[in-house]
Amino acid sequence: MAVVLLAEAVFIAALNWFLGIVVDRQDMSLAGLDPSTMATSSKIGGVVFGLYFALCALVAVVVAIRDRAPAGFGRVVLISAAVVHGLLGAFAWGLVGWTAFLFMVVVLGLIVLLLMTYDRDGGVQRGTSGGGAGVGGEPAAAGVPGAAAAPGAAAVPAPRTAPGEPRDGDGDPQDSAPAQLVIRPVPTTP
């Protein structure tokens, strides 16, 4: 993941630098703008985007080293990179072709995978190994008499209310808004 983002950072910076050189040598002008200003801004934009993607690669490396979910600023950077890749993929489909779109979608998928594979407690999410309340972790086996409990499993507590007594949430549904309040849409055309 970090290698892909770092390679993309170098490619984006080099591409924008090359475009800045082309604009400067061709002495092109767009809507009366000075060619040297356009060339300089293209080079600066390439360096800024290159540093941005390099920062994303650094965040990916830190996540891999710590083996924890990205938090705070790193999470914001990765989410913004996912949004940027989604937008670039949409533009790439129309302007460059399906191969550039495919690359952007693959990088977007890798970023989303990095964001989603770690839970908030830390570490990669792992599947449950069973052994819950009943045999094999089956919740239905928890209350069955005679079902063997897993070794080291906690006992299931008895219910707090006697059978037949009302519990919280029983009875009529309670809405927070009165039923008489009805807001009808206002017509926008005469």
pTM of the model: 0.60
Question: What would the two tokens of residue 185 be?
Answer: 């849409």
Q: What is the pLDDT of residue 29?
A: 77
Q: What is the pLDDT of residue 87?
A: 94
pLDDT-flagged residues of the chain (< 50): 131-132, 134, 136-137, 141-143
The Cα–Cα gap between 95 and 89 comes to 10
8 alpha-carbon distance from chain centroid: 19
Q: What is the pLDDT of residue 151?
A: 57
End-to-end CA distance of the chain: 57
Q: What is the pLDDT of residue 107?
A: 94
Cβ 107 vs Cβ 8: under 8 Å = yes
Angle at 98 between CA 96 and CA 104, to 5 degrees: 85
Q: What is the pLDDT of residue 184?
A: 77
- Give 56: exposed, middle or buried? Use CB within 10 Å, 0-12, 13-18, 19+: buried
The Cα–Cα gap between 105 and 14 comes to 21
Residues 6+ apart with CB under 8 A from 21: 39
